A = this chain, B = another copy of it.
Amino acid sequence: MSIRIGILGYGNLGRGVECAIRQNPDMELAAVFTRRNPENVTILTDTAAVCRAEEAADWKDKIDVLILCGGSATDLPVQTPEYAKYFNVVDSFDTHAKIPEHFAEVDAAAKASGKVGIISVGWDPGMFSLNRMYANAILPEGSDYTFWGKGVSQGHSDAIRRIDGVKDAKQYTIPVPQALEEVRKGTNPVLSTREKHTRECFVVLEEGADAARIEQEIKTMPNYFADYDTTVHFISEEELKRDHSGIPHGGFVLRSGVTGWEKEHKHLIEYSLKLDSNPEFTSSVIVAYARAAYRLASEGQTGCKTVFDIAPAYLSAKSGEELRATML
């Protein structure tokens, strides 16, 4: 019998989850829950239902794992603990500073209901976190580096769009190649924000808008751009659509460390991702962890987990025997 998945929220991430389920024959999409009118939501999977978000609890015996595809700012802090009352849940909560608080909320709800909740799944937090943790456990003496990009930052693109006179915009975060090379050489550089990443912006202006003023506003925007070397390109709406409609991303996690009685040997561990579609890759990670949620719950485990708490084999459709014979 396959693992029955529900999706709450049908945006880029929800659609990505739907696509990922199709690549995993031991899973099936049972239903998509939406806050929109279900009649206006067309999904790709013929065999799945589209329902109102409020009906989700009625599906508690027909869904093994509910994947929460809302945003971290306002949706997930409420939704994940709420739906953990009825379902094993997986989310991609990515507000790093608030993870401890979110963990506590989901843990309490999931323990009370006897369900499993896996939070902060994706690539950062997620696969990048795992690689930071493994590398730190292996090389206790060393330095950590995370670089993001080249990729589209939704938050930074939105910040530009909020500027008066901007019709549309896309912002790319780009690692500085020289900084990456220094880290790889094992020189353990101390890198400022500016030295690690540059920001490149493609902006479509409203008719008659003042380009110079907007460029200045972008480049001096605190938190978002002021601490970076930022480039601004003004382009047409057609160019933005033609050249910048994808959602690529990726990045690098490195740990540079030493071993030996006198710390005489250097080592470099590097993990990198190059992703055509940020939401689809995130979804693919989430779906693997949905399998883990199902299995952990089948074993009688309850409460909140993160990627740190889950043995890798739980993610794979293969048995332990198969994994040892083919991948070890």
The residue that A133 contacts in the complex, of B285, B309, B327, with Cβ under 8 A, is B327
The residue that A127 contacts in the complex, of B22, B134, B266, B275, with Cβ under 8 A, is B134
Tell whether A125 is near chain B: CB-to-CB under 8 Å. yes
Given A22-B261, A141-B23, A272 and B274 touching (CB < 8 A)? no
Task: Give the distance in Å from the alpha carbon of A192 to the alpha carbon of B120 in the complex.
Answer: 40
CB pair A328–B316 under 8 Å, yes or no, is no
The residue that A138 contacts in the complex, of B276, B285, B323, with Cβ under 8 A, is B285
The residue that A281 contacts in the complex, of B23, B127, B259, B275, with Cβ under 8 A, is B259
Q: Which of A96-104, A158-166, A193-201, A236-244 binds B?
A: A96-104
- Copies of this chain assembled into the complex: 2
Closest to A321 in B: B100
A273 neighbours in B (Cβ, 8 Å)? 267-270
Which of A19, A265, A321 has most chain B Cβ within 10 Å? A265
How many Å from the CB of A278 to the closest CB on chain B?
10
Show 10 A/B contacts (Cβ-Cβ < 8 Å), sorted by A: A24-B140, A131-B271, A136-B327, A259-B276, A267-B274, A270-B270, A270-B272, A270-B274, A308-B323, A311-B311
Tell whether A129 is near chain B: CB-to-CB under 8 Å. yes
Task: Give the distance in Å from the alpha carbon of A133 to the alpha carbon of B24 in the complex.
Answer: 15
Tell whether A213 is near chain B: CB-to-CB under 8 Å. no
A288 neighbours in B (Cβ, 8 Å)? 137-138
Which DSSP category, helix, strand, loop or mixed, fits chain A's interface?
Answer: helix
Task: Give the distance in Å from the alpha carbon of A284 to the alpha carbon of B271 in the complex.
Answer: 18
A327 neighbours in B (Cβ, 8 Å)? 129, 132-133, 136, 308
How many Å from the CB of A49 to the closest CB on chain B?
18
A184 neighbours in B (Cβ, 8 Å)? 274
CB pair A260–B272 under 8 Å, yes or no, is no
A321 neighbours in B (Cβ, 8 Å)? 100
Tell whether A211 is near chain B: CB-to-CB under 8 Å. no
Task: Give the distance in Å from the alpha carbon of A280 to the alpha carbon of B265 in the complex.
Answer: 8
7 tightest A-B contacts by CB?
A: A265-B276, A137-B315, A259-B280, A265-B277, A308-B313, A268-B274, A137-B288
CB pair A307–B312 under 8 Å, yes or no, is yes
List which A303-325 residues lie within 8 A (CB) of chain B.
Answer: 306-313, 315-317, 320-321, 323-325
Task: Give the distance in Å from the alpha carbon of A312 to the alpha carbon of B299 in the complex.
Answer: 19
Tell whether A139 is near chain B: CB-to-CB under 8 Å. yes
CB pair A323–B260 under 8 Å, yes or no, is no
